[in-house]
Structure 1
Amino acid sequence: MTDLQPVVDEIYEALKPRLGEGRVADYIPQLAHVDPKKFGMAVVDVEGRVFRAGDSDEPFSIQSISKVFTLTLALGKHGEAIWNRVGREPSGSSFNSIVQLEHEGGKPRNPFINAGAIAVSDLILAGHTPREAIGEIVRFVRFLADDETIAIDPAVARSEQATGFRNFALANFMRSFGILTHPVEHVLGVYFHQCAIAMTCTQLARSGLFLAAAGHNPITGHLVVSKQRARRINALMLTCGHYDGSGDFAYRVGLPGKSGVGGGILAVAPGKASVAVWAPGLNENGNSLVGSLALEMLANRTGWSVFGQ
């Protein structure tokens, strides 16, 4: 594969005038303090080479990007049975909508909206205390990134717990339909802590590399999931990874991706590379505004869109 550093540098320089655009997720108080002009980008190719620019080694709150990792864990524990509790369809609604849940009998549309990820947390909790389940998630992310320094930001976790009223409503609603089987406080304890994992763009890109390399981590040699499961996780990321902005992201970028309201996006170019970007300002759908632009530029310059050049 060619040297991508000039491409990454060019994207960073082109976007410098736009840093700070969008709105930081101030409804989680701890995230409101983040400098909106931050920008990081890291590309890790399937040969393990790393290309980066900007604040690529500054940790940030990965938030909903963690849902990719918890989905992978839950599939490993329960297999295809998880689809009895959560769907695989795009939501077309806000990531924290309760209206759709009521209309569909408490079964969340997909594992990447809040309700779906809370249901996945319930599955991971099976047979564990909340502390054990949280530890399992952190160990899994460290394994994927091959980095033992990755940790949860306790201030962000507390901030989420203190302001997560909508998530408590979603969880109680699902519990009433039997979708959740554990106490709501335990499930949300797991969910809030997974969202509060802090990672750098470099760590995040490394952790997603197994999805670009047919389920293998080419750096460590570990088999993470089967080729078929990697393909299916990528499919869900493409169709559901950006909430009600997923169609637009597929149209503009054409890569499987998962965003988080901390301003990060993990994107996968199957067979090529894993990419992480971070720019805290969000667009109207809750996805990183400048981060999405960076990925669109990368896809255009490399021809990596899964729909062809």
Structure 2
Amino acid sequence: MEYQKIINAIYDEVKELKDEGSIADYIPELAKVNANKFGIALLDNEQNVYKIGDAQENFSIQSISKVISTAIIFSKIGNELWKRVGFEPSGNSFNSLVQLEYENGIPRNPFINAGALVIADLMLEHFENPKEYFLNFVRELSNNDSIQYNENVAQSEKENGYRNTALVNFIKSFDNIKNEPNDVLDFYFHQCSIEMNCIDLAKLFQVFANNGVISKEKTIFLTTSQCKRMNALMQMCGFYDQAGEFTFKVGLPGKSGVGGGVVAIFPNNYTVAVWSPKLNKKGNSYYGLETLERLTTITEASIF
């Protein structure tokens, strides 16, 4: 497959679209990003990297990080995880409080904010220094020791995170948060602030395209069954209340973040990451989704 030729053509075509999205200005630090940035990186199963545009410029991966923290806890405690958080699509916006009241403080899935806060609580339970562990693990999977938290972004999210503060306290009222809410929020805001580029992100997610095996070390991070379930979660819940449309148009497991990043996995074939900061009304990168739809259409290959 001539991936470089394919992503070059897609890049040129998508750049001609009128992008009516808007940047995530409710986090002031993210509002400072150049809205016209656009990069694509694809990593195949032979470790070849194909890239174009701003694929080597760092950005805040935001909610994409939720997949990694969820996978860490899943690898640690197995199916006990599902007693604290569900695995169903939410059908509501990523920061909704509505379902928690009806479902007794058990978030619908780990990728909405409520679910990610429960995962953050579990990170605090199982690791002495969860922020250090998480960062080192991300560096290991991405093979890049220079990856860092962006403290300015983390602080910006803290100063404006009223809804997340409400969520974590509401969940604690149901006894589904065990640690101090401020400690849970601190990990969560740092997790979301982590910065990397499209190439790093494609490498980070290769473990999910490789049946749970970390390619560089040939070590098993997730069992085949666990990896299948993580990919299923991304398929059903990775794009919030646009997950159905993403499945319909793209047909790959994936995850988005309000920093404009999108990553998708074609098991045993490739991982692909796109960055374009302008978001559609559902909070997903407009160019990112357009890019991935074209990729699976042109290659005539998806998981379906």
Select 1:153's aligned residue among 147, 150, 155. 150
8 Å contact kept, 2:251–2:302 = yes
Counterpart of 2:87 in structure 1 is 88
Counterpart of 1:69 in structure 2 is 68
8 Å contact kept, 1:204–1:266 = yes
Query: Structure 2 length as normaliser, TM-score?
Result: 0.98
Q: Distance in 1 between matches of 2:7 and 2:215?
A: 22
Q: Distance in 1 between matches of 2:17 and 2:160?
A: 30
Counterpart of 2:113 in structure 1 is 114
Counterpart of 1:136 in structure 2 is 133
Counterpart of 1:48 in structure 2 is 47
8 Å contact kept, 1:42–1:56 = yes
8 Å contact kept, 1:19–1:37 = no
Amino acid at match of 2:249: R
Select 1:173's aligned residue among 151, 170, 173. 170
Q: Give the Å deviation of 1:224.
A: 2.2
Q: Which runs of 5+ in 2 are unaligned?
A: none
8 Å contact kept, 1:264–1:277 = yes
Q: Distance in 2 between matches of 1:232 and 1:45?
A: 22
Q: Give the Å deviation of 1:217.
A: 3.0
Q: Is 2:277 aligned against 1:276?
A: no
Q: Give the Å deviation of 1:213.
A: 1.2
Counterpart of 1:236 in structure 2 is 233
Which range is displaced more, 174-183 or 20-29? 20-29
Which range is displaced more, 223-232 or 52-61? 223-232
- 1:1-309 pair list within 5 angstroms: 2-18=1-17, 20-128=19-127, 132-307=129-304
Cα distance, 1:182–1:91 mapped onto 2, change above 3 Å: same
Q: Give the Å deviation of 1:19.
A: 6.8
Percent identity over the alignment?
Answer: 46
Q: Give the Å deviation of 1:127.
A: 4.7
Q: Give the Å deviation of 1:218.
A: 3.0
Amino acid at match of 1:216: V
Q: Distance in 2 between matches of 1:88 and 1:164?
A: 25
8 Å contact kept, 1:19–1:290 = no
Q: Distance in 2 between matches of 1:127 and 1:144?
A: 20
Considering only aligned residues, what root-mean-square deviation do their CA atoms show, in Å? 1.1
Which range is displaced more, 93-102 or 212-221? 212-221
Q: Distance in 2 between matches of 1:125 and 1:143?
A: 20
8 Å contact kept, 1:19–1:279 = no
8 Å contact kept, 1:36–1:279 = yes
Amino acid at match of 1:170: L
Amino acid at match of 2:48: R
Q: Distance in 2 between matches of 1:19 and 1:134?
A: 39
8 Å contact kept, 1:19–1:38 = no
Q: Distance in 2 between matches of 1:122 and 1:280?
A: 29
Q: Distance in 2 between matches of 1:201 and 1:83?
A: 31
1:43 aligns to what SS in structure 2?
strand
Q: Distance in 1 between matches of 2:163 and 2:67?
A: 21
Query: Structure 1 length as normaliser, TM-score?
Result: 0.96
Q: Distance in 1 between matches of 2:77 and 2:136?
A: 18
8 Å contact kept, 1:48–1:218 = no
8 Å contact kept, 1:37–1:279 = yes
2:220 aligns to what SS in structure 1?
coil
Cα distance, 1:19–1:223 mapped onto 2, change above 3 Å: farther
Q: Which runs of 4+ in 1 moved over 4 A?
A: none
Q: Distance in 1 between matches of 2:57 and 2:20?
A: 19
Deviations 1:46-99 (A, max 9, x none): 111111111000000000000010001111221110100100000000100001
Q: Distance in 2 between matches of 1:71 and 1:216?
A: 16
Q: Distance in 1 between matches of 2:54 and 2:218?
A: 28
8 Å contact kept, 2:212–2:227 = yes
User: Size of the alignment, in residue pairs?
Assistant: 304
Q: Distance in 1 between matches of 2:272 and 2:173?
A: 39
Q: Give the Å deviation of 1:17.
A: 1.9
2:172 aligns to what SS in structure 1?
helix
8 Å contact kept, 1:255–1:304 = no
Q: Distance in 2 between matches of 1:14 and 1:220?
A: 38
Q: Give the Å deviation of 1:235.
A: 0.3
